Structure 1
Amino acid sequence: MTTAPGARRVQRYDVASLLDVAVRVFTERGYDGTSMEDLARAAGVSKSSIYHHVEGKEHLLRLALERALDPLFAVLAEPGATSGPSLGRLEHVLRREVEVLVAELPYVTLLLRVRGNTGTEQWALARRRDFDAEVVALVRAAAAEGALRADVDPALATRLVFGMINSVVEWYRPEGPRDARSRSGLRPDAGRLTDGVLTLVLDGLRAR
């Protein structure tokens, strides 16, 4: 059977595929500016097809934010984050945070752009604060052990560190620069990216 000229090509989607589309559209248009019709159009399916998989737009947002947050919290339970000197644990958490950011770049980008306008967004912001608190505790413990400078407030240091790490979503492009003539989109090797972040962060914080 042939498709009539101008007809929309209907695709088959599962939840994972719908999430990929939703994250892209939410990031481009903003969550508040995205309708279910926008999502259906981007996915090439009907709204009823989307409702077959999820309860609605906010359900998609929740699933997307869970995909960004769950691996971050999983890092906190890894052996490298739970045993040994505090500085080593901090380095492990920060290194793995960069790795998660690169692996789940579209999802982390969306996470960093939520503003708390819905219950799901408020939940995500609360989870981010919980994660931040865990890292602040590691910075404070490492300073108490004499491994990090004691003259920098741990909460301030953590906020500045996260500012550097989170800025990666604004310029890191896994596919390379958008324009070969421009350096606005960079793709360093993921390992070099992580090493660079850790070197800049920890060299500035280490006790002299």
Structure 2
Amino acid sequence: MTTARRDTYTPETLLAVAVRIFNERGYDGTSMEHLSKAAGISKSSIYHHVAGKEELLRRAVSRALDGLFGILEEAGATRGRPIEQVEYVTRRTVEVLLAELPYVTLLLRVRGNTRTERWALERRREFDHRVADLLKAAAADGDLRADVDIRLATRLLFGMVNSLVEWYRPHPDADSRETDALADAVVRMAFEGLRTS
């Protein structure tokens, strides 16, 4: 039985197990022993592929960050009016969050206790600043209400989007329509209150 589990083991499945355990126990509360038991492989098998749990953490948060930063390079995030760009980025952020839910959940839970966590927090701040810049540009164009503080709007927008990791659980038969509906709802609720028209 153990042989069969080892035959199906891959670095990707190990990463998925690590992310699940990190999210359940917390990164600091997870040992290599926990990961070994959850994956059904020996600790030496894990060390054959990664230097340790911090490397697994870096791979996991990199996956989430790569998805988020990839959005900023898409045509919808770089063309058109800033208000259209920020709405696009918001919608796509929700979509990436839902597609990579365990990985983004882990990213949002890092606290800065390790070098990898501090790097991830810095990258998150960079993403937040780039979205805040789009909101500022939209306000400068007159497309956002003048009576709304942009820093507050940015925090509220990210708070709403990031809260999805705490309560959203995909339906087992969910398809892209569920993701689209949720992304539409977030954009509508956020920007109907922020837009000037």
Q: TM-score range by the shorter chain?
A: over 0.9
Amino acid in the other structure paired with 1:146: G
Aligned residue for 1:33, secondary structure, equals coil
Distance 1:19 1:28 in 2: 14
Amino acid in the other structure paired with 2:129: A
Q: Larger Rg: 1 or 2?
A: 1
Aligned partners of 1:144 and 1:150 also within 8 Å: no
- 110-119 vs 10-19, greater mean Cα deviation: 10-19
Asked if 1:56 is matched to 2:83, the reply is no
The counterpart of 1:11, out of the listed 3, 6, 17, is 6
1:175 is displaced (CA, Å) by: 3.4
Equivalent in the alignment of 2:85:
89
1:123 is displaced (CA, Å) by: 0.4
- 147-156 vs 29-38, greater mean Cα deviation: 147-156
Structure number with higher helix proportion = 2
Aligned residue for 2:6, secondary structure, equals coil
Closer/same/farther in 2, CA of residues 14 and 8 from structure 1, 3 Å limit: closer
Matches within 5 A, 1:88-107: 88-107=84-103
Query: Where does structure 1 differ by over 2 angstroms across 4 or more consecutive aligned residues?
Result: 7-12
The counterpart of 1:174, out of the listed 166, 170, 174, is 170
Equivalent in the alignment of 2:196:
207
Distance 2:65 2:117 in 1: 12
Asked if 1:165 is matched to 2:161, the reply is yes
The counterpart of 1:141, out of the listed 137, 143, 147, is 137
Aligned partners of 1:9 and 1:44 also within 8 Å: no
- 12-21 vs 90-99, greater mean Cα deviation: 12-21
Percent of aligned pairs with the same residue?
A: 62
Amino acid in the other structure paired with 1:118: T
Aligned residue for 1:112, secondary structure, equals helix
Equivalent in the alignment of 1:192:
181
1:9 is displaced (CA, Å) by: 6.9
Distance 1:110 1:169 in 2: 9
Distance 1:82 1:137 in 2: 12
Aligned residue for 2:84, secondary structure, equals helix
Aligned residue for 1:189, secondary structure, equals helix
Per-residue CA distance 1:124-159 (angstroms, 9 max, x = gap): 000000000001100000011010012222121111
Structure 2 length normalisation: TM-score?
0.93
Aligned residue for 1:131, secondary structure, equals helix
1:11 is displaced (CA, Å) by: 2.6
Unaligned ranges ≥5, structure 1: 177-187
- 94-103 vs 149-158, greater mean Cα deviation: 149-158
Distance 1:14 1:172 in 2: 28
Structure 1 length normalisation: TM-score?
0.89
Closer/same/farther in 2, CA of residues 203 and 131 from structure 1, 3 Å limit: same
1:174 is displaced (CA, Å) by: 1.5
Amino acid in the other structure paired with 1:155: R
